[in-house]
Structure 1
């Protein structure tokens, strides 16, 4: 079965007579295979929907099914779906062909103006969108007649005009191409008062340059993808500067960019590749097409003199490629030419600057994600026509290859023999995977290993030594970390003790100049591809690395609880990958060090809302330690027990008892105050007031932050014991205490709890005010998991305020944030909220499904998850009651009551008892 919308609407080549049925079929076909909502269909069919619009829509669907009895149109609660594959709809097939680079085939699918016989309200907007699709087809695969027709309809479309100029130029009709450009330039100036766009100007230059010699500029066999902005920038800079140098690591695409710039140059161009020579002057002389005999004079003349004489009266662009291995000689010769020949310009490529006065540097960085994916698709479809793969998988491959153009091209070439998933899985051994390049490429560009090895061989011993040591870092490092951990003062350095050795700072600067290390603000980073190569030459500095970052974490911890916490959270966040790597190494090699790291980092992880990530680390450390803490590490071991609850498996009650026993041994406040908070969360509300006083007396310190935390804890206990007035007073004092010390996390937590109190009291406006303040504080911290919890609270407040649409949007946002943070408990909370929404709307099937999702997401552990299960049971009881199944409702309420009593949460307990009482009265 085939559906056509690119012209009159057809099904299997037959038109549908009834106008509304024709419009309805078109809307369903445009989204074939997907559900189209009731409101969208009604709004698309009727300018003024009739009374009983839903019934009218159902009637039109029924008539369409009778008219075309073999159509399969499924009904869903949300709308209708045409059961058809994308290839059965001409528009969707057209888009597939466009993505595959088969624009000429896509253009042949058009039978006239899209939706030509549809007059429904949706058609006007749809036609505008489909016209853009037609223009894309024509731009890439249209004939001269197609483009001229389009231009007559859209005379101000510069992309169409540029395509027509290029098409005429390809056909050898340069005069007509120039006339089309001139007409467009005049029209743009008259109608809009603007000059031609860069693309139209570039098409014009392509025609003009046909009369100018371009010596040695290599023709390209593949399309130019992903560097349009670089192309515009470098072309502009060459108009204003006489020396522009493209710098960057090997394989980023410096040569290709230089070639594209050269092809756009309207005047004379000479392309000189220095990679296979050490005689720069002679290579330049050959490149500009000069015969030595023609310049001989009475006396001896050097090659450089001949070169300058040949260029002194010429206006020419020298594109000098691969200067890095002859950098000093290239700088000397080119500097002499620029000084003696005023009409010569130079575009050089190198892995480090030439260092000539007046040089303009244009870094050729890694491709951004969008450009990298486009390059991969383009090259993959060239070797495997019809190639398609999930966008996220391709993006991940490109990211892991650092956006290096050559690496992406080599990986794309492997899709001919390997699935994309297999390529992604093999990237840990990228040099072996990407070992087959073009046989026509220079040897140093045939494999990824050869590209990096070329740069490595050009380094000095000191540079190789530091480059190898730098690989100990994950995600980069600051200057102090580089010099302290990887510097030449390390034992075994080739340069240690040498009075003539360059300083570490000088060597690091040289690695930056040579594109082996990147610098952004005050951080240094090595691309993963270069890092993988250099790591094969590195000594093992991982213990030194782990101990250095332990000291950094310990120094930072007190500042995280003070006014300067943002600065310190940012500093630790910049080194997050290093901290993670340090914990991972220590877990396998030194459990004492691992325990110290987890304890020192607990405050950072908690304040950043990265609890699930911290839990995985802590659980791994516990497994490495065994069931008994090492001597002198009781506090650190207890911290791991308390952090690991979201992911821990096994006997949770045994872990809780062990944590209680370790905490009972403390006779004073712990070294890291956050340990007290985490233990209080684990225990929940105290069984007696004396227990609460005893715990506070032993473990709570007297510093302002801990005092504010104590007030917060007492406020939460008062709230759970159903004393809202005292809870409000204590939480307010706690918020004031956190505000005085400058801790945004503690303040956000207190304010969020005040929001819950206000919501329970029915004051939704006050609750929303508190929530917005808490969210602002947490966004300042970058605390993703906590931010998700606050958005959940806002959803509840909006629902209580009579805004179910706002609540649904908040739950959807919170789900995205929670998934990004890896916070299953917050996800579960979202699904409970969505279950409540569905129940209130009478959609009980969806409500049960949401409760099931929430239950599946509840992790193990002795605090948090059990309270969530209590709320799930409570909601299940309410759903069953709404459906009239009182027996099932009572069973769920009984389960909720058992869990609430076990948590000693009187607020939830009261809510459950109220439900049971209402049930008993029915």
Structure 2
């Protein structure tokens, strides 16, 4: 049931059907009760005011109440929920009705909500909300409030109050309309409101603003003059300061102001279409958006492009020329075209901020504040003040750090992605040099070297006037200063890459500079904890550097762009802190890897490997420091602790040059003197240094004996337990290569086999795994399979996926050797699932090749897919040996399909890459040589075929009794296969 007193008193049931109330007396009775719903009204007052012709008797009042009750009750009987009831209350009556059921109560609630939305002033969304609420409230009115009883003394004040609220709601609705740009539509209604209330100043001010916005400045001034005259004549008063200020602003108003536009672009806009749409969309709902990012990332250009997509009036304010924030308000006035006038100079001119607020109060404007970082405090205060006072204003700021204003929406601007960076470089290169476009691969390298920063790309591309792209690509370390002769027309801070970084560096506090230059030692970023320790700073300083775009956050790590890091490294050297900071970095990293190493051989592998992988670039940087400063002990310890993760993830080859350099500083090897304190670390360093190629082989020959003794001493017969069990496995595999002497192989085997009873469970599992290969060498496949089953069980009990995968792979090889291809494929797939979880690229490549070998006879497309994927993983890991295996598999398929040319090419490429010192390479080497022999035989070149077969025999001799069967399988003549058995 609903009731209305905003007009003639009426009532409606829940269907919206009007309830018949009877004559005027009953309507008056209901109106008097509804004027104060829920409050008692005395019977005497009702008797006096129900009928204007005279007081009613008590009986007449009771009769009217009874009839009104009957009418309301009849409607309530069919309505759900509680009904409106007229109750006796003391010596009078009251109507019990929900407040929201009375239109006057709903009107007051809606009006209050609309005014609150209007006062929030957070953008067009609030103005639209306010307009909707106020429109809904005003639509409740059907005539004068309490029509018919408004002159009764008891409700007269209520009627006046409601009418005043109605006028205020109208004013608020027109205020919302002006904020929404509906000036023209509001003018006629405002004229009517002003004519009804000629002494109210707010409608006059609203009409003046609407007329001025619609180009009617002269009429707006006339409205002011009429209002001023009426106030003087009828009230003897002057206009309020607010109306007077509006009048003065109209007098000073330039009908065609020229707010500053963004700089006209001289080049095409590349690579940020999505960001333009994102920021423009955000500005439609937010009133303050700040583009943050390092210098040269393209914030200004992005802001200009965003502004061009919006329909608002635009003012672009360049703040970089300001020396301090004191002149900021005046700079905005100048940009808006609001110069000082003679009238203001003669009178009491207002402060620039006051003039700004007056000029922008009712103006729909996008204000772009460009380069706020050096006046960030003043820019933040000014933006907050203007946004609070000017509800139709929006601000787009660019800064290397946030303004820190409540309601600010941040849009970090990052470097261009690879493709966009290449497009930008190519576009700018075409402007300075005619001819073919530069090689995209080299362009990609150059863009990556300057972090994909648009300014850096543009300045570097400009160097193609005098350099070739090959020269640029070969001078990547010099690119920070490459643009020393940059854009002469740019402001000083944008002329070179160095000046871009130096501009922001000079804005840092001394603690921030110290932390930033020390952070330069982190080549791969850092966790917050590591950064705080190495930089000797606190979290607040790091967060401040992130706010100022000197470091970036993401994935739980802080990172520094290479262009900034190069500058910070120069500052670190200038401060004389390179060695101490480098040592702190290396020791912190050593602690992290040493803590992680035990967990890499158990269930926690998947938790620790990603964290250590994130430190790979830092590891390389720390090793470079150790080599440069001849801190060999620290370098070897760091390598030893990192070795397990490097082997699992297939990254050992990346550290080989550093390991070799550290060994050069180690007094051992050719002198056969064994280190006393760090023998195990030394042995691991030898294993990591002994990569493929002449350098690796030379290192291996020089240090193998001493490293073997060191490892044997660390793991003496199980009585002593070393700290790096993974070294045992790698030592055995490295020593079983083609060129190893039998005595060396036996010595390495004995070191590992002695761990069958070791107190270290991982070492026991490794011993079982290695003993299987000893049994294979003796031709005892049953014993080998039992040993591998025990190894799988041991590794699985520890939760070690890597060891389990190695043992499963060996079991798959046994199954394939006896012709059980289905089991071989199933075991290989189990192992492959484990290595893929670990991200072990090299081992996954091995397994894919093995599965391809099993599938090749029956499913060549599947085998080809496995070989192709294996080659991709090997290339990603930088593993020449795994790539060789994949090429050999592809060569086998080409040979089977009769493509002798492709087969020979693939076999030859593979043979060039094989590591002959690695036990797992022997089978692949034999198969490659045998394949080349079969190619030669197919061509009728029996001399070459015999030579290749003989090479295969020599290589296969290291495989023991299984070699003859392998050679027969791959097409060697029976006599040659038998020769291997004799050897």
TM normalised by structure 2 equals 0.67
Give 1:212 shift: 11
Match of 2:461 among 395, 409, 412: 412
Q: Match for residue 910 of structure 1?
A: 965
Q: Using the alignment, how far apart are the partners of 2:972 and 2:832 within structure 1?
A: 35
Q: Using the alignment, how far apart are the partners of 1:429 and 1:534 within structure 2?
A: 15
For the aligned residue pairs, the C-alpha RMSD in angstroms reads 2.6
Q: Does residue 615 in structure 1 map to residue 656 in structure 2?
A: yes
Q: Match for residue 905 of structure 2?
A: 849
Give 1:412 shift: 0.8
Q: Does residue 240 in structure 1 map to residue 276 in structure 2?
A: no
Report SS of the residue matched to 1:346.
strand
Q: Using the alignment, how far apart are the partners of 2:531 and 2:906 within structure 1?
A: 50
Q: Does residue 751 in structure 1 map to residue 808 in structure 2?
A: yes
Residues 363 and 651 of structure 1: CA distance in aligned 2, closer, same or farther (over 3 Å): closer
Q: Deviations over 1:686-708 (max 9, x none)?
A: 88999956752268632222222
Q: Match for residue 570 of structure 1?
A: 610
Q: Match for residue 282 of structure 1?
A: 330
Q: Deviations over 1:539-574 (max 9, x none)?
A: 221112112211211111101111111111111111
Q: Using the alignment, how far apart are the partners of 1:581 and 1:390 within structure 2?
A: 30
Q: Match for residue 792 of structure 1?
A: 849
Give 1:511 shift: 0.5
User: Counterparts of 1:94-493 in structure 2 under 5 Å?
Assistant: 215-277=260-322, 278=324, 279-293=327-341, 296=344, 299-488=348-537
Match of 1:808 among 853, 858, 864: 864
Q: Match for residue 556 of structure 2?
A: 522
User: Counterparts of 1:678-697 in structure 2 under 5 Å?
Assistant: 678-684=730-736, 695-697=752-754
Give 1:847 shift: 2.4
Residues 654 and 431 of structure 1: CA distance in aligned 2, closer, same or farther (over 3 Å): closer
Report SS of the residue matched to 2:289.
strand
Q: Using the alignment, how far apart are the partners of 1:693 and 1:433 within structure 2?
A: 58
Range that drifts further, 882-891 or 638-647: 882-891
Report SS of the residue matched to 1:702.
coil
Give 1:615 shift: 3.1
- Residues 886 and 919, structure 1, Cα contact 8 Å, conserved in 2: no
Report SS of the residue matched to 1:347.
strand
Q: Match for residue 510 of structure 1?
A: 544
Q: Deviations over 1:623-679 (max 9, x none)?
A: 332535544232222222233332313385554434334344442332211121122
Q: Using the alignment, how far apart are the partners of 1:411 and 1:691 within structure 2?
A: 55
Q: Deviations over 1:471-513 (max 9, x none)?
A: 111111011211111114xxxxxxxxxxxxxxx2111111011
Q: Using the alignment, how far apart are the partners of 1:649 and 1:601 within structure 2?
A: 22
Residues 827 and 920 of structure 1: CA distance in aligned 2, closer, same or farther (over 3 Å): closer
- Residues 299 and 413, structure 2, Cα contact 8 Å, conserved in 1: yes
- Residues 261 and 316, structure 2, Cα contact 8 Å, conserved in 1: yes
Q: Deviations over 1:319-374 (max 9, x none)?
A: 11111111111111111110001011111111111111111111111111111111
Q: Match for residue 605 of structure 1?
A: 646
Q: Match for residue 185 of structure 2?
A: none
Q: Using the alignment, how far apart are the partners of 1:657 and 1:737 within structure 2?
A: 30
Q: Match for residue 677 of structure 1?
A: 729
- Residues 272 and 284, structure 1, Cα contact 8 Å, conserved in 2: yes
Q: Using the alignment, how far apart are the partners of 1:212 and 1:806 within structure 2?
A: 72
- Residues 553 and 597, structure 1, Cα contact 8 Å, conserved in 2: yes
Q: Using the alignment, how far apart are the partners of 2:429 and 2:318 within structure 1?
A: 28
Report SS of the residue matched to 1:330.
helix
Q: Deviations over 1:368-408 (max 9, x none)?
A: 11111111111111122334122121111111101111000
Report SS of the residue matched to 1:531.
helix
Q: Deviations over 1:55-98 (max 9, x none)?
A: xxxxxxxxxxxxxxxxxxxxxxxxxxxxxxxxxxxxxxxxxxxx
Residues 567 and 293 of structure 1: CA distance in aligned 2, closer, same or farther (over 3 Å): same
Q: Using the alignment, how far apart are the partners of 1:738 and 1:409 within structure 2?
A: 55
Range that drifts further, 712-721 or 596-605: 712-721
Report SS of the residue matched to 1:269.
strand
Q: Match for residue 657 of structure 1?
A: 705
Report SS of the residue matched to 1:244.
strand
Q: Using the alignment, how far apart are the partners of 1:693 and 1:651 within structure 2?
A: 23
Q: Match for residue 150 of structure 1?
A: none
- Residues 771 and 794, structure 1, Cα contact 8 Å, conserved in 2: yes
Report SS of the residue matched to 1:292.
coil
Residues 695 and 263 of structure 1: CA distance in aligned 2, closer, same or farther (over 3 Å): closer
Q: Deviations over 1:780-839 (max 9, x none)?
A: 111111111111112112103x12222223222211211221111111112222222222
Residues 888 and 453 of structure 1: CA distance in aligned 2, closer, same or farther (over 3 Å): closer
Count of residues paired in the alignment: 695
Residues 636 and 506 of structure 1: CA distance in aligned 2, closer, same or farther (over 3 Å): same
- Residues 602 and 614, structure 1, Cα contact 8 Å, conserved in 2: no
- Residues 676 and 700, structure 1, Cα contact 8 Å, conserved in 2: no
Q: Match for residue 170 of structure 1?
A: none
- Residues 552 and 560, structure 2, Cα contact 8 Å, conserved in 1: yes
Give 1:873 shift: 2.6
Range that drifts further, 742-751 or 508-517: 742-751
Report SS of the residue matched to 1:221.
coil
Report SS of the residue matched to 1:746.
helix
Give 1:919 shift: 5.3
Report SS of the residue matched to 1:230.
helix
Report SS of the residue matched to 1:342.
coil
Q: Match for residue 769 of structure 2?
A: 712
Residues 767 and 407 of structure 1: CA distance in aligned 2, closer, same or farther (over 3 Å): same
TM normalised by structure 1 equals 0.72
Q: Using the alignment, how far apart are the partners of 2:678 and 2:757 within structure 1?
A: 20
Q: Deviations over 1:3-28 (max 9, x none)?
A: xxxxxxxxxxxxxxxxxxxxxxxxxx
